[in-house]
Structure 1
Amino acid sequence: MATILAVVAAAPGSPATAAPPAGEHRGTLTGGATWLGHIPARWNGTVLLFAHGFGPLRPQDAPSEQARELLLAEGYAMVGSSYSGPTMWALETALPDQRAALRAFEEVLGTPPRRTIAIGRSMGGLVSARQAHDPRGGIDGVLTTCGIVAGGLNLNNYQLDGLHALTELLAPGRDIPLVRYRDAAQAAQAAADIVALTTEAHATPDGRARIALAAALFNLSGDHFRAMTAGGALNRYVTGRQQIELSAGGNSAYNRGVDYRALLASSAHAAGVRALYREAGLDLRADLDRLTATADVTADPWAVADLRRSSMVAGPLRVPHLTMHTLVDELVPVEHVDWYGEHARHRPGMLRSVYVNATGHCVFQPAEDVAALHMLEHRLDHGRWPDLTGTGRFVRFNPPRLVGGLGEPGRL
Structure 2
Amino acid sequence: MMRKGMGLSFAMRLAPALLAFSAPMALHAEETPAVTLTSAQSALVAKAAKLGATDLKTLPAPDGGFVLAGKLAGDQFSVAFPVGWKGSALLFAHGYSAPGSPVAVAEDPLSPGVGTNGMMLKVYQDGYAAGHSAYDKAGMGVETATENTLRLRDFLTRLGAKRVLVAGGSMGGNIVMSLIEQHPKAFAGAISACGVTDGWESLFAQLIDMRAAYNVLTEGTPYALPGEHDLLKSAFPMDTPAGEAASSDAFRNGRIVQIAMPVLMLAQAAAANPDGREAHILKQVASIGGFEPEVASIAFPLVTVTLGMDDLDATLGGNIYGNVGKVYASPEMTAEEAAAFNARVQRISADPAAVANARRWHQATGRFDVPLVTIHNRIDSLVPYAQSEALGRIVAAAGNEKRLVQYTVPGTKAALPVGGVEGYTHCGFSPEQMTATWEALKGWVETGKRPAADAVR
Q: For the superposition of Structure 1 and Structure 2, which TM-score range results when normalised by the shorter chain?
A: 0.7 to 0.9
Structure 2 counterparts to residues 42-53 of structure 1, below 5 A: 42-53=84-95
CA pair 14-43 structure 1, distance change in 2 beyond 3 A: closer
Partner of 2:402, secondary structure, is coil
2:104 to 58, 76, 80: 58
Q: Decide whether aligned partners of structure 1 residues 183 and 304 sit closer, same or farther in structure 2, where only a CA change above 3 A counts.
A: farther
* Matching residue of 1:25: 68
Question: 334, 348, 359: which is aligned to 1:284?
Answer: 334
- Corresponding residue SS for 2:196: coil
Q: Check the 8 A contact 1:133/1:319 in 2, yes or no.
A: no
Q: Which amino acid in the other structure matches residue 39 of structure 2? A: A
Deviation at 1:159, TM superposition (A): 0.7
On the 8 A contact 2:90/2:123 being kept in 1, the answer is: no
User: Aligned ranges for residues 334-373 of structure 1 at < 5 Å?
Assistant: 334-344=385-395, 345-359=398-412, 360-373=425-438
- Whether 1:249 and 2:317 are equivalent positions in the alignment is yes
Contact 2:69 2:78 in 1 (8 A): yes
Matched, 1:11 2:39: yes
Greater mean deviation of Cα atoms: 189-198 or 40-49: 189-198
Q: In angstroms, what is the RMSD of aligned CA positions?
A: 3.5
1:127 aligns with: 175
Alignment-derived partner of residue 71 in structure 1: 123
| Structure 1 residue 99 displacement after superposition | 0.9
Is the deviation greater in 140-149 or in 208-217?
A: 208-217
Give the total of aligned pairs: 361
| Cα distance in 2, alignment partners of residues 296 and 144 from structure 1 | 34
| Whole-Å separation in 2 of the counterparts to 1:200 and 1:219 | 18
Aligned residue type for 2:394: H
What SS class does the counterpart of residue 358 from structure 1 fall into? coil
Compute the displacement of 1:126 (Å): 0.4
In 1, Cα distance between equivalents of 2:360 and 2:384:
23
Deviations 1:4-61 (A, max 9, x none): xx99765289999xxx99311112121x321111011243532101101111422354
Partner of 1:192: 258
Contact 2:190 2:373 in 1 (8 A): yes
Change (3 A) 1:185 1:287: farther
| 1:100-115 to 2 correspondences below 5 Å | 100-107=151-158, 110-113=159-162, 115=163
- The 2-side partners of 1:197 and 1:183 are apart by 17
Q: Deviations over 1:91-131 (max 9, x none)?
A: 12111110111222344xx3232x22110111111001122
- Which whole-Å CA distance do the structure 2 matches of 1:221 and 1:97 have between them? 35
The answer on whether the counterparts of 1:219 and 1:335 sit within 8 Å (CA) in structure 2 is no
1:240 aligns with 2:308: yes
Residues 13 and 65 of structure 1, relative CA distance in 2, 3 Å threshold: closer
The CA distance in 1 between the partners of 2:178 and 2:318, in whole Å, is 22
Superposition TM-score, scaled by structure 1 size: 0.76
Give the 3-state SS of the residue equivalent to 2:401 in structure 1. Answer: coil
Q: How does 1:250-329 map to 2 (within 5 A)?
A: 250-261=318-329, 264=330, 270=331, 273=332, 284-293=334-343, 294-314=345-365, 316-329=367-380
Please give the TM-score of this superposition, normalised by the length of structure 2: 0.70
> Which sits farther off after the overlay, 7-16 or 212-221?
7-16
User: What residue in structure 1 maps to residue 383 of structure 2?
Assistant: 332
Aligned to 2:3: none
Q: Distance in 2 between matches of 1:171 and 1:197?
A: 13
Equivalent in the alignment of 2:76: 34
List alignment gaps of at least 5 residues for structure 2.
Answer: 1-33, 49-63, 240-251, 413-424
- Cα deviations by residue, 1:267-321 (Å, 9 ceiling, x for unpaired): xxx5xx4xxxxxxxxx522222333333411122222222122232246122221
Further displaced range: 136-145 or 172-181: 172-181
Q: 1:297 to 1:351 in 2, by over 3 A?
A: same
| Letter in structure 1 aligned against 2:192 | T
Judge conservation of contact 2:318–2:351 (CA < 8 Å) in 1: yes
Deviation at 1:64, TM superposition (A): 5.0
Conserved 8 A contact 1:141-1:320: yes
The whole-number CA distance in structure 1 between the counterparts of 2:316 and 2:376 is 27
Q: Is 1:207 aligned to 2:281, yes or no?
A: no
Shift in Å, 1:137: 1.7
- After superposition, the Cα gap between the structure-2 partners of 1:155 and 1:227, relative to the gap in structure 1 and judged at 3 Å, is closer
Q: Where does residue 419 of structure 2 map in the other structure?
A: none
Percentage of matched positions with identical amino acids: 23
Q: Which amino acid aligns with 1:137?
A: K
Q: Matches of 1:41 and 1:311 in 2, distance apart?
A: 36
Structure 2 distance, partners of 1:163, 1:36, is 38
Q: CA deviation at 1:69?
A: 2.7
C-alpha distance in 2 between matches for 1:73 and 1:387 = 23
